[in-house]
């Protein structure tokens, strides 16, 4: 499994791709629905996190290639 780190700069390039991140001790795989204009926040389908991830506070979000 190849991965690259998701950052504010490359978030717009990976809309529709799957990501992996850790929350509450578990690894979760979700698909990026959209990214904010600044790239700081991405939208995913995960109600437990209110359907958003803030990339400025999470350093371990990776895109699955």
Delineate the domains of the chain, giving CATH numbers in brackets: 3-64 (2.30.30)
pLDDT averaged over the chain?
Answer: 96
Band the pLDDT of 31: cuts 50, 70, 90: very high
pLDDT of residue 65: 93
pLDDT of residue 1: 82
* Residue 54 near residue 41, CB atoms below 8 Å: yes
Q: Is the pTM of this model over 0.85?
A: yes
Region 8-27 average pLDDT: 96
pLDDT of residue 39: 94
Distance CA 18, CA 42 (A): 12
């Amino acid at each position: 499994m190849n991965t690259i780190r998701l950052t504010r700069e490359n978030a717009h390039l990976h809309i529709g791709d799957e990501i992996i991140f850790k929350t509450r001790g578990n690894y979760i795989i979700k698909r990026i629905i959209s990214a904010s204009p600044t790239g700081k926040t991405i939208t995913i389908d995960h109600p437990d996190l209110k359907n958003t991830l803030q990339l400025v506070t999470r350093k371990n979000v990776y895109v699955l290639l």
